[in-house]
Structure 1
């Protein structure tokens, strides 16, 4: 595969009540993708379907994530989501409630475009 990464964004999301890893992961992905815009597609005519998106989500209990549902929420490209152990669980000592913190790395790749461009 000759894909070249052209963007990486990081995000964080949490669920303060309910210990919902999926909700925290959704918020982490949304946080990451809200930090960028991709004018490359309009500027070059490259279809966004040429873009491969690889998301890595870190939570303390990765097996509780529905990675296919998370991938389906991404607005552009062909997405895959991998869940790994990471993030944090923080217990509120006053209530015993656990706060879930998820982290996301969203990477976007395009096939090698060097043949399309020439140095002037």
Structure 2
């Protein structure tokens, strides 16, 4: 499939007190999505379900992220989520550290289907 990327957006999210890596990652995704209001599918003449959405999340403890919860953020499209090491844990004087997650969302289409 000749996948052609048409958009990449970035976001950042945090969990201030609960050290919830999934919540921080979800907030990072929402941050990235709220930056963009372009209707990519319509722009290229595709149904929204044809969007190929590749999500990359970076946190200090990738194994603590629930991928299925993150996939639910997207109402349509073919979603793939990968989680790797990155982000930031900020120690606090008392309690759990503040967690910062980074997200990158790339939207692609199989352009050959539309024009082939």
TM-score by length of 2: 0.89
CA RMSD after TM alignment? 2.0
Runs of 4+ in 1 over 2 A off after TM superposition: 38-45, 94-97, 113-116
* Paired residue total: 116
Could you tell me which residue of structure 2 aligns to residue 101 of structure 1? 100
Indicate how the Cα distance of structure 1 residues 112 and 12 shifts in structure 2: closer, same or farther if over 3 A, else same: same
1:19 aligns with 2:19: yes
Q: Indicate if the aligned counterparts of 1:21 and 1:59 stay in contact, CA closer than 8 A.
A: yes
> Which has the greater radius of gyration?
1
Give 1:102 deviation, angstroms. Answer: 0.2
User: What SS is found at the alignment partner of 1:58?
Assistant: strand
Unpaired runs of 5+ residues, structure 2, are none
More displaced 10-residue stretch of structure 1: 43-52 or 30-39: 43-52
- Note the 1:70-81 alignment, pairs <5 A: 70-81=70-81
Unpaired runs of 5+ residues, structure 1, are none
User: What SS is found at the alignment partner of 1:25?
Assistant: helix
Give 1:37 deviation, angstroms. Answer: 1.8
Q: Indicate if the aligned counterparts of 1:21 and 1:100 stay in contact, CA closer than 8 A.
A: yes
Q: Indicate if the aligned counterparts of 2:17 and 2:95 stay in contact, CA closer than 8 A.
A: no
